[in-house]
Amino acid sequence: MKHVFLLLLCAMPLAASPLEDANLVDVQTVEELPVFVSLRYATPNNFTGKPIYNTGTACYLHKEAVEGLKKAVALAAEQEEPFTFCLWDCYRPASAQKKLWTAKPNPNYVAPPKKGSRHSRGMSVDLIPCDFNGTPLKMPTDFDNFTPRAHMDYQKLPKDVLKNRETLKKIMTQAGFTYTRTEWWHFDKTGWKNKPLLDIPLETEN
C-alpha cells in the first residue's frame, strides 16, 4: 500500500514555482538567449553599495519580455559587427524596489514603491551591449549613472559611443521595447501596463 502511495506521488506533476505561475522565466534557461547576466543589485557594485537581492545569476523576465529579448538578440547577431547583451537587472521584487527607494528617494531616478517599478512587473530589462566574451561595448556611462550623460538624447559623446547607443535603441525598439529618456540601459516591453506588480522573492543561491 505504501509503495502504491509513493508511486502515485511520483506520477504527480511537479508544482510550478510562484515565479513560473507569474509567467516569469529565467533567461538563462532559454536556448535562443546567449546573453551574459551580471546582476548589479545582487552585488555591492551598485549605487547603494549593498546587495539589494540575493539571486546569484538568475535573471527572470515575463515570457513576453523574453520573446522580445529573443528578437533583440537575433537582430544584434545580424549586425555588421555582431554582438550580444550583458543583463544588469531583470525582474525586481517590490520589496527590493523599496530598498532602492530608501537609498535614493528621488522619483526622477527611482520609482516610488507606491507607484512601483516596471521591473516589478517582469517587463523591464537593464542591459549593455557586449561582445561574445562578455566584454561591454563602449557606451555613454556605467549603470545607474544619474547624470545627463546617461540621457538617451545626450550628444556630447565620442562618435563610436553615439553609434553604439543608436544601434541599441534601434534594435530594442524593433524588438518591441520602448526606451527611457534618462537611462540609456533601461527598456520596457510594450504591454507592461497590463501586467501586475509582483513581490515574489527571488530564489536565493546558498
Task: Identify whether 183 is a catalytic site residue.
Answer: yes
Q: Please identify which of the residues 64, 78, 80, 183 carries the catalytic annotation.
A: 183
Q: What are the strands, taking DSSP E only, across the chain?
A: 24-26, 36-37, 60-62, 84-89, 124-130, 177-179, 186-189
| Residues 72, 86: Cα–Cα separation, whole Å | 12
| Chain residues that interact with Zn ion, rule: CB under 5 A | 126, 186
Residue 77 burial (CB count, 10 A): 12
Asked if 111 and 206 count as a contact pair (C-beta separation under 8 A), the reply is no
Between the two ends of the chain, the Cα-to-Cα distance in Å is: 38
Residue 123 DSSP code: -
C-alpha cell at position 145: 549613472
Closest distance to Zn ion from the beta carbon of 45 (Å):
16
| Residues 46, 135: Cα–Cα separation, whole Å | 18
Q: Which residue has the cell 547603494?
A: 48
Closest distance to Zn ion from the beta carbon of 102 (Å):
17
Which amino acid, residue 100? L
- Name the residue nearer to Zn ion (CB basis): 17 or 106: 106
Closest distance to Zn ion from the beta carbon of 124 (Å):
5
Asked if 60 and 202 count as a contact pair (C-beta separation under 8 A), the reply is yes
Closest distance to Zn ion from the beta carbon of 52 (Å):
12
> Which residues are annotated as catalytic?
183
